[in-house]
Amino acid sequence: MGKTTILIASAFVWPYMHNPKGRSKKTGLPPGTLIHVGIARTEKARVSVIDYDTERLLEKELVDVTECIDLRDRPTVTWVNVDGIHDTALLQKIGDCFGLHPLLLEDIANTGQRPKLEEFEGHVYIVIKALVWDDAADRVIEEQISIVLGPNYVLSFQERAGDPFDPIRERIRTNKGRIRKMGSDYLCHSLIDITVDRYFDIVEKIGDHIERLENTLVNNPTPKVLHRINVLKNEMTSVRRSVWPLRDVLSQMQRSDNEFVKEETRLYFRDAYDHTVQIIETVETYRDILAGMLDIYLSSVSNRLNEVMKFLAIVTTVFMPLTLLTGIYGMNFRFMPGLNDPEGFWIILAIMVAVAVGMIAYFKQKKWW
């Protein structure tokens, strides 16, 4: 029982991860105040920049953020990636560099955002959620990724150092695919696309868990199974909460009146949009399956009760008449038939066996046994 307790507790703790509690420290402050809301971090924030066009490629790590003013003004595509959003001073500097609105900066620092797209003067602000499967805790972890898409630059902000975008960097370096030939909108698409691809991995992982759970459900329907069903349902909700608004974001990106996305890139956003729809559909299917499993669980509990009760009824019904028989011949009347008969005992025993066999046959026929 001890193990189950811990598991259940952990199962319910996770949603608070996604709704970080620090939000309340902002109550009463004027809008646009730059405060980090999320899990406190101590490591140093890192800023790396890649600047490229079809021919040239520049890649370096920035120590002083103002260096990128220079890159910003060149026609090449500039991608500034920030690992760690707890360093609000750094965010402020980048914001000054690229002319970001205080409200936008505030949102980057607050990890409680939901996926959204907001248009500002000269750039678009996109929030998406990266999902990672934490093998240790056996659950989904959510990370907020902010993307600012300008005419010839992309800024990306991650909660902590990690390598989710490494395949894209690799593609840029090796000039694989069309990424070097296209603009900042395609780079922005690539960042979102790779995040959506990871959703498929998560969904497959959850699918595996459901499959494993099914076998347990049939062979050993313990309360732990119910708890696992609930945990998986919550995980599904978590994925859904990340994907649904992302779908809207992608739908806005492919709309023809979006000035930041070129005609040729629109097709790629439509493709990513399609992927989110596929994920949503799979999530809904899994939710249906989990609901069905809940039904089966509850009904198997009832069935077990039925079986126990049938067993009790059979035992009681078989033994009660036998006990009554012994009771009758245990009475102290002087005159009872057969008392002194040497065969009496054996005759009664034979009758008892006959009664017992008859009862059992009756239950067999009623299919209780």
* Interface region with its own copies, contact rule CB under 8 A, candidates 53-61, 72-80, 92-100, 224-232: 224-232
Q: In the β-sheet with 57-62, what is the strand arrangement from edge to edge?
A: 57-62, 46-52, 77-83, 153-158, 139-149, 123-134, 116-120
User: Which region, judged by CB under 8 A, interacts with its own copies, from 67-75, 89-97, 114-122, 145-153?
Assistant: 114-122
Output the CA torsion sign for 62, 48, 131, 256. positive
The least distance separating its own copies from the CB of residue 15, rounded to whole angstroms, comes to 6
Q: How far is the CB of 89 from its own copies (least distance, A)?
A: 19
Task: State the helix-helix crossing angle for 184-219 and 223-253, rounded to 10 degrees.
Answer: 160
Stretch that binds its own copies, among 5-13, 65-73, 85-93, 153-161 (CB under 8 A): 5-13
Closer CB to its own copies, residue 41 or residue 171? 171
> What tokens does 116 get?
């959204």
3 near its own copies, rule: CB under 8 A: no
Of 34, 132, 322, 355, which lies in the binding site for its own copies, with binding defined by CB under 8 A?
A: 322
Rg (CA), the chain: 34
Q: Which one, 94 or 105, has the nearer CB to its own copies?
A: 105
Q: Which is nearer to its own copies, 64 or 334 (CB)?
A: 334
329 binds its own copies (CB under 8 A): yes
38-97 residues in contact with its own copies (CB under 8 A) are: none
Under DSSP, the state recorded for 29 is S
CA distances from residue 217 to 5, 208, 308, 361 in whole angstroms, order as listed: 19, 14, 19, 33
| Contact between 17 and 141 (Cβ < 8 Å) | yes
Interface with its own copies (CB under 8 A), residue from 313, 353, 357, 361: 313
Nearer to its own copies, 69 or 312 (CB): 312
From residue 253, alpha-carbon distances to 38, 118, 125, 146, 157 in Å are 28, 11, 11, 15, 19
The values of phi and psi at residue 54, to 5°, are: -55, -35
Q: Decide whether 134 or 319 has the Cβ nearer to its own copies.
A: 319
The structure tokens listed for 93 are 């500097």
- Alpha-carbon dihedral sign for residues 219, 224, 226, 227: negative
Q: Name the minimum Å distance from CB 196 to its own copies.
A: 9
Q: Interface residues for its own copies in 253-272 (CB under 8 A)?
A: 267-268, 270-272
- Which residue of 17, 233, 355, 360 would you call a contact of its own copies, by CB under 8 A? 233
Residue keyed to tokens 């809301």: 37
Three-state SS at 240: helix
Q: Find the binding residues for its own copies in span 274-293 (CB under 8 A).
A: 274, 277-278, 281-282, 285-286, 288-289, 292
List binders of its own copies among 192-211 (CB under 8 A).
193-194, 197-198, 200-201, 203-204, 207, 210-211
Piece of 31-39, 55-63, 67-75, 147-155 that binds its own copies (CB under 8 A): 31-39
Member of 103, 351, 354, 357 binding its own copies (CB under 8 A)? 103
Minimum distance between the CB of residue 152 and its own copies, rounded to whole angstroms?
Answer: 21
Report how many residues bind its own copies under the rule CB under 8 A: 127
Q: In 3-state terms, what secondary structure has residue 338?
A: coil
Does residue 30 bind its own copies (CB under 8 A)? yes
Angle at 51 between CA 45 and CA 52, to 5 degrees: 150
The sign of the CA dihedral 157, 158, 160, 162 is negative
In angstroms, what CA-CA distances link 325 with 154, 319, 342, 351, 359?
92, 10, 18, 9, 15
Q: 97 vs 294, which CB is nearer to its own copies? A: 294
Site for its own copies in 120-179 (CB under 8 A): 167, 171, 176-179
